Amino acid sequence: MRVLLVSSMVLISLILSAAPAMAEAACTCQGCGCKGGPGWRGPKGYCVSAASLAKICGSPPGVPCTQENVERVCMRNAEAEPQVEIKAETP
């Protein structure tokens, strides 16, 4: 009886620990800005971090960078429309 109880508790904990990973897999993220960055692509083709934005793209950002500011799209369930996660504006 104890073995059944312990094994079921282990199984439940494994399922609960995998839940965030499954939710994350339902989201698509392609482009600069969808993971929380500033949303600018640098001249070498890579996304520019917030710390390097002024150094690489200038202040205010512009040429030689391009603004993508892509939103993250998540599917809540198979029948639902895609849900766009709105990211908070940072000053």
Each residue's pLDDT tens digit, 43-91: 999 999 999 999 999 999 988 999 998 887 787 654 555 555 555 554 4
Average pLDDT over residues 28-53: 91
Tell if the pTM clears 0.85, that is, is over it.
no
pLDDT at 56: 95
CA 82 to CA 91: how far, in whole Å?
Answer: 28
Average pLDDT over residues 10-24: 56
CA 81 to CA 78: how far, in whole Å?
Answer: 8
